[in-house]
Amino acid sequence: MWNNLFEGLRRRMTCIYAGIFGLLILLIVFAAYTFIWWNILQHEKDDLVDQIYHEAEEWVDGGEEPCSAVSVREGSMLAYFVTPDGKTVILDQLGQGKIREGLFKHRDYWPSKLDTARMLNNRIFDEKGNAHRYLAAVAPVLNGGRVEGHLYMFKDMEFYYRAAFTTLFKLLCVAALLFALACYFGYWLAGRNIQPIGKMYARQMQFTADASHEMRTPLAVMALATEGLKEDEESQYSDFAKESIEMLCHETQRMSRLTENLMELARGDEGSLPELRTEVDMSTLCKRVGAQLALLAEQKGIALRAQVDDNLQLLGDEAALNRLLIILLDNAIKYSLTNTAIDFIATKSKNNLLLVVRDQGCGISDEDKEKVFDRFYRVDKARSRSQGGLGLGLSLAKTIVLQHHGEIKVLDNKPRGTIMQVLLSLNKD
Ligand code: ADP
Q: Each residue of 237-250: pLDDT tens digit?
A: 888 988 999 999 98
Helix (H) or strand (E) holding 256: helix 239-270
Range 59-86 average pLDDT: 92
Contact 279, 313 (CB under 8 A): yes
Range 56-64 average pLDDT: 90
Q: State if residue 379 touches ligand 1 by the CB under 6 angstroms criterion.
A: yes
Orientation of helix 393-403 relative to helix 239-270, angle to 10°: 30
96: confidence class by pLDDT, cuts 50, 70, 90: confident
Bridge partner residues of 419 (DSSP): 358, 411
1: confidence class by pLDDT, cuts 50, 70, 90: very low
C-alpha 106: how far from chain center: 47
Indicate if the pLDDT at residue 339 is higher than 90. yes
273: confidence class by pLDDT, cuts 50, 70, 90: low
Q: Give the C-alpha separation, 336 to 420, whole Å.
A: 13
Contact 379, 365 (CB under 8 A): yes
Q: Each residue of 123-159: pLDDT tens digit?
A: 999 998 999 999 999 999 998 888 999 999 999 999 9
Best residue among 261, 337, 372, 401 to mutate for probing ligand 1, ranked by most atoms within 8 Å of CB: 372
Q: Give the C-alpha separation, 318 to 277, whole Å.
A: 9
Contact 302, 342 (CB under 8 A): yes
Range 96-112 average pLDDT: 91
220 alpha carbon – ligand 1 mean position (Å)? 26
Best residue among 394, 408, 413 to mutate for probing ligand 1, ranked by most atoms within 8 Å of CB: 394
What pLDDT is attached to residue 270?
64
Instruction: Determine which of 18-32, 226-240, 386-400 has the lowest per-residue pLDDT on average.
Output: 386-400
3 state SS for 40-90: HHHHHHHHHHHHHHHHHHHHHHHCCCCCCHHHHHHCCEEEEEECCCCCCEE
Question: What φ, ψ does residue 132 adopt, rounded to 5°?
Answer: -135, 140
Instruction: Determine which of 27-41, 157-171, 225-239, 310-324 has the lowest per-residue pLDDT on average.
Output: 225-239
Indicate if the pLDDT at residue 359 is higher than 90. yes
Best residue among 330, 335, 359 to mutate for probing ligand 1, ranked by most atoms within 8 Å of CB: 335
What pLDDT is attached to residue 119?
94
Range 64-70 average pLDDT: 93
Range 242-269 average pLDDT: 85
SS3 362: coil
Q: State if residue 380 touches ligand 1 by the CB under 6 angstroms criterion.
A: yes
Per-chain mean pLDDT for the chain: 89
Range 198-205 average pLDDT: 82
Q: Give the C-alpha separation, 41 to 135, whole Å.
A: 9
Q: State if residue 384 touches ligand 1 by the CB under 6 angstroms criterion.
A: yes
Indicate if the pLDDT at residue 269 is higher than 80. no
What's the chain's Rg over C-alpha atoms?
Answer: 41
Closest residue by Cα to atom 12, ligand 1, is 372
Q: Percent of the chain having pLDDT more than 90? A: 57
> CA triplet 227, 233, 239: central angle to 5 degrees?
80
263-266 contacts at long range (C-beta below 8 A, 24 or more positions apart)? 263/208, 263/209, 263/212, 263/213, 263/216, 264/323, 264/396, 264/399, 265/208, 265/375, 265/392, 265/395, 265/396, 265/399, 266/205, 266/206, 266/208, 266/209, 266/212
pTM assigned to the model: 0.58
C-alpha 385: how far from chain center: 36
Bridge partner residues of 424 (DSSP): 353
Q: State if residue 120 touches ligand 1 by the CB under 6 angstroms criterion.
A: no
Indicate if the pLDDT at residue 7 is higher than 70. yes
Helix (H) or strand (E) holding 214: helix 158-231
420: confidence class by pLDDT, cuts 50, 70, 90: very high
Q: State if residue 330 touches ligand 1 by the CB under 6 angstroms criterion.
A: no
214 alpha carbon – ligand 1 mean position (Å)? 28
Q: Each residue of 393-418: pLDDT tens digit?
A: 898 899 899 889 899 999 999 999 99
Range 270-283 average pLDDT: 74
Indicate if the pLDDT at residue 114 is higher than 50. yes
Range 297-305 average pLDDT: 95
Question: What φ, ψ does residue 353 adopt, rounded to 5°?
Answer: -100, 125
